[in-house]
Structure 1
Amino acid sequence: MSFIYNIGIHLTHFGLKCASVFNQKIKKGVVGRETTFNTLKENLKPNNKTLWFHCASLGEYEQGLPVFKVLRDHYKNHKVVLSFFSPSGYEIRKNSPIADVVVYLPLDSKKNAKRFLDYVNPELTVFVKYDIWPNFLKELKHRKLQAILISAAFRENQSFFKFYGKPLREALFAFDYIFTQNEASKKLLESINYTNVTVSGDTRFDRVFSQLNIDNSLDFIQKFKQDKLCIVAGSSWPEDEILFVNYINSEVSKDLKFIIAPHNIKASQIKHIQDKLSVESVLFSEKDNKQLENAKVFIVDTIGILSKIYSYADIAYVGGAMGTTGLHNTLEPAVFGVPIIIGTNHSKFPEAQEMIDNGGMFAVSNQMAFNDILNALIFDSEKRLSSGKTNSDYIKNNTGAVTKITTYLKL
């Protein structure tokens, strides 16, 4: 089976090369991986002490960041190597202050694993959630280098737990310890006789909870919102945005303000939203030349400020679950104590179902359902406030994963 896996890696390399001709995102990854070893050679010396953090993409980076920060602070004399597999992580966080070197992780061949670890030789390796690379992990184990997996989440239908999943299953045993998000994941690991496991919870709760300790003020958002009720649509896709456009155009209330932060900030998509609106809108990119208080809709055509914008929300909508792209981060608005609306395609996001069960989140499948719950939250202040509080309580009650992990590491 290992032979088949390694053949598959080489076929993947060939497939990505071919696909990169037609897809810019894939091309960035292919080109970026070709520079990895030169980057490591230029920035690391044989006598450097190092830590290695690996994340599949941006979401896993945000998830691991609370732990990364503690390790960065504790190991002040170590160099930190941060690797990503996806361009969406690397391109946004290639200048991350928690790392000395940021690279694309090469494809998981035996040769790449040996060469990578020859350069990095990490005293501690931290993988986040699920990005399991057998050859890299086996090489770590062979060299007796410590590795842990944090915020792990497993499902019964994954290859680790199938008869054909031996290479991936063996890779799990390369981790000295695994910290899972939930009891179900722990039991799945125990079913394959992996016992160095603890339910720590999800480090994302610690990550979003820390947002309350920073300055979240944005003067231009305050100028736009004034004292009006504000509904924020975060990480929206076209299927989400049409719900908002239809609702806004119906002019249910002239006292409402809307902020739309699309996942896709390409100019064509932003223009499409503006063209569909029958009310005055303003873009982030033109905020300095507009009377913000006169606009009904503020469209965020930039990245990096959504978590602060949520602090101005009275009601939040989080995109991704109305279609099939995957629900975006619902914990970010929840920490600010606001009720949240999402689509119904959220089965892979247990925190969403928990917040729905708590009464702080509402899943809708169509325009009518969206209108009904949004109106209920707008016009019933008691419902709005109580629903929001259940969300902030939920976040607070689920923090503590970072402490469990750092206690194990004896920091």
Structure 2
Amino acid sequence: MTLLRLYNFFSNLLPLVANIKVPQLAFNKGLWFHAASVGEVNASLPLIQFFHNRFPDIPILYTVMTKTGQNRARTLLKFKCNTQVIPFPMDHPPSLKQIYKNFDPFALIVIETELWPNLTLLSQRFGVKSYLVNARLSQKTLPRYLLIKRIMSKVVNSFDLIFARYEEDKEKFLMLGAKPEKILTVGSLKYDIQLSSIASSKRLKRSDLGYKDSDFIVVFGSIRSKEEDEIVEAIKKLDLHRHPDIKVIVAPRHLDRAPHFASKLRDAGIKFVFRTQGFNPNGRILILDTIGELVAFYRIADVAFVGGSLANYGGHNILEPASCGVPVIFGPFVWNVRHEAKGLLLCKGGFLVKNADELASLILRLRDDISTLIEAGINAEKFTREKAGVAKKIGQIIAKRVGLRPKIGFRIKPRD
């Protein structure tokens, strides 16, 4: 028995151990998107918006692995009425065949790393073009896939096209046996996501928070537990008593760390206030203990440090402040965002520091060097905007390949 047949044998037994049931589908003749969880769903939004703007009548079916991802997809797709989000049936062949038959998609669009053998191989059997978008493979995943290269080679070659983010992603898919002509390196959807997020984010005014236009606002965003001590040390070195115009805002990556960070500030003799306690920090450090406001605070900042980078977490979203036209500072541990970090350093929109001393010194230097500060902010925003447009590029290629045309009539199955 071949590995693929063995895999299918166990896939068919899934209903014995899991509740796998495909709900009644409300539409047909549309686009089928598939993602693992919240991150991948977020990544797909610019592409969905492209198809919605060009082909507003086309239905979208979205299968998502996790419940949180399903909820996120439903929230993001509220603007589009002819959509349906359902759980992914765990590569169970009969369930997938049911979806292919009943939904009869124009195309299957898989996001990032979701390489399910039956999902994509069945697309060929049903004559459905399939695409892997924002394609990537982590250093942990690749060795595992190479152990079953005979299967994975068939899977990756079952896609009509693989839209790789970067050349290193392309090389990994080639290692799995993908044919070179099936891979296009188009860039990352991250930049499109960021511009879309900034455009729809909450807006604040400095005056609403008790800040003056002349204040120098520093935001420490997405701070992780192992770098909290460094951030407290950097704040101490900013000498806020000597520099009262410097206003500090700190956003822990996880809300449950807010009290712990506050305790460290208290031990250092630094006054603070939580965001949930009021709008006016009144000269104190503001700790964000709310959800969904970080981008709004980046908007009013003069400079931002993005956490997860002074300790070995890999770095967090450095494009958020960059998209707001804010110079970005980060530490040496940026392997999660290495391409973005390299780009920001090259365009002089970002700055690398190694410790609290360098961080505080750089902030004070930028405060005193307005021309460098302004130029860095302009460069950061320009870098983000120039890298955007990937969703449009991918969308146009897919639309052309599957024969979609604006104003095409779509046959919609009525709801029962």
TM-score range for the pair, normalised by the shorter chain length: 0.7 to 0.9
SS of residue paired to 1:70:
helix
- Amino acid paired to 1:226: K
Deviations 1:11-47 (A, max 9, x none): 9999xx9xxxxxxxxxxxxxxx85x736x32xx24x6
Q: Give the distance between the partners of 2:303 and 2:11, measured in 1 at CA.
A: 45
Asked if the contact 1:37/1:116 (under 8 Å) is kept, the reply is: no
SS of residue paired to 1:321:
coil
SS of residue paired to 1:254:
coil
Give the gaps of 5 or more residues in structure 2: 406-416
RMSD value, Cα: 3.4
SS of residue paired to 1:302:
coil
Give the gaps of 5 or more residues in structure 1: 18-32
**CA-CA distance at 1:294 after TM superposition:** 0.5
Asked if the contact 2:274/2:289 (under 8 Å) is kept, the reply is: yes
CA 1:230 to 1:8, structure 2 compared with 1: closer, same or farther past 3 Å? Answer: farther
In the alignment, structure 1 residue 200 sits paired with structure 2 residue 186: yes
Asked if the contact 2:145/2:152 (under 8 Å) is kept, the reply is: no
**CA-CA distance at 1:3 after TM superposition:** 5.4
CA 1:183 to 1:117, structure 2 compared with 1: closer, same or farther past 3 Å? Answer: same
CA 1:263 to 1:215, structure 2 compared with 1: closer, same or farther past 3 Å? Answer: closer
In the alignment, structure 1 residue 296 sits paired with structure 2 residue 284: yes
Asked if the contact 2:272/2:281 (under 8 Å) is kept, the reply is: no
In the alignment, structure 1 residue 152 sits paired with structure 2 residue 142: no
**CA-CA distance at 1:67 after TM superposition:** 0.9
**CA-CA distance at 1:359 after TM superposition:** 2.7
SS of residue paired to 1:385:
helix
In the alignment, structure 1 residue 262 sits paired with structure 2 residue 252: yes
Q: Please identify, of 152-161 and 363-372, the stretch whose mean Cα deviation from structure 2 is larger.
A: 152-161
Tell me what 2:21 maps to. Answer: 37
**CA-CA distance at 1:215 after TM superposition:** 6.8
What is the aligned counterpart of 1:379 among 362, 368, 372? 368
**CA-CA distance at 1:295 after TM superposition:** 4.4
What is the aligned counterpart of 2:35 among 51, 55, 61? 55
In the alignment, structure 1 residue 336 sits paired with structure 2 residue 320: no
Asked if the contact 2:32/2:105 (under 8 Å) is kept, the reply is: yes
Q: Give the distance between the partners of 2:87 and 2:206, measured in 1 at CA.
A: 36
Q: Give the distance between the partners of 1:123 and 1:82, measured in 2 at CA.
A: 13
Q: Give the distance between the partners of 2:14 and 2:252, measured in 1 at CA.
A: 31
SS of residue paired to 2:305:
strand
Asked if the contact 1:333/1:340 (under 8 Å) is kept, the reply is: yes
Tell me what 2:48 maps to. Answer: 68
Asked if the contact 2:218/2:302 (under 8 Å) is kept, the reply is: yes
Structure 1 residues 235-314: aligned runs within 5 Å:
235-250=222-237, 251-252=239-240, 253-266=243-256, 269-278=257-266, 279-287=270-278, 292-314=280-302
Q: Give the distance between the partners of 2:134 and 2:234, measured in 1 at CA.
A: 38
Deviations 1:213-232 (A, max 9, x none): 55752247842433211112
- Amino acid paired to 1:255: D
Q: Give the distance between the partners of 2:246 and 2:349, measured in 1 at CA.
A: 21
Q: Please identify, of 256-265 and 110-119, the stretch whose mean Cα deviation from structure 2 is larger.
A: 110-119
> Does 1 or 2 have the higher relative contact order (CA < 8 Å, sep 6+)?
2
- Amino acid paired to 1:101: Q
In the alignment, structure 1 residue 231 sits paired with structure 2 residue 221: no
**CA-CA distance at 1:317 after TM superposition:** 1.6
SS of residue paired to 2:255:
coil
Tell me what 1:2 maps to. Answer: 4
- Amino acid paired to 1:50: G
**Percentage of matched positions with identical amino acids:** 24
- Amino acid paired to 2:131: I
Asked if the contact 2:249/2:288 (under 8 Å) is kept, the reply is: yes
Q: Please identify, of 220-229 and 380-389, the stretch whose mean Cα deviation from structure 2 is larger.
A: 220-229
What is the aligned counterpart of 2:340 among 344, 347, 351? 351
Q: Please identify, of 148-157 and 319-328, the stretch whose mean Cα deviation from structure 2 is larger.
A: 148-157
> Normalising by the residue count of structure 2, what TM-score does the alignment of the two structures yield?
0.79
In the alignment, structure 1 residue 101 sits paired with structure 2 residue 84: yes
Tell me what 1:85 maps to. Answer: 65
Tell me what 1:30 maps to. Answer: none
- Amino acid paired to 1:283: F
SS of residue paired to 2:250:
strand
Q: Give the distance between the partners of 1:176 and 1:221, measured in 2 at CA.
A: 53
What is the aligned counterpart of 1:217 among 179, 203, 209? 203
Q: Give the distance between the partners of 2:207 and 2:127, measured in 1 at CA.
A: 51
Tell me what 2:378 maps to. Answer: 389
Q: Give the distance between the partners of 2:347 and 2:69, measured in 1 at CA.
A: 32
**CA-CA distance at 1:159 after TM superposition:** 4.4
CA 1:89 to 1:218, structure 2 compared with 1: closer, same or farther past 3 Å? Answer: farther
Q: Give the distance between the partners of 1:37 and 1:12, measured in 2 at CA.
A: 11
**CA-CA distance at 1:188 after TM superposition:** 4.9
Tell me what 2:356 maps to. Answer: 367
> Normalising by the residue count of structure 1, what TM-score does the alignment of the two structures yield?
0.80
Asked if the contact 1:243/1:370 (under 8 Å) is kept, the reply is: no
SS of residue paired to 1:359:
coil
In the alignment, structure 1 residue 127 sits paired with structure 2 residue 110: yes
Deviations 1:201-247 (A, max 9, x none): 22222232345655752247842433211112222211233332233
Tell me what 2:408 maps to. Answer: none
Tell me what 1:23 maps to. Answer: none
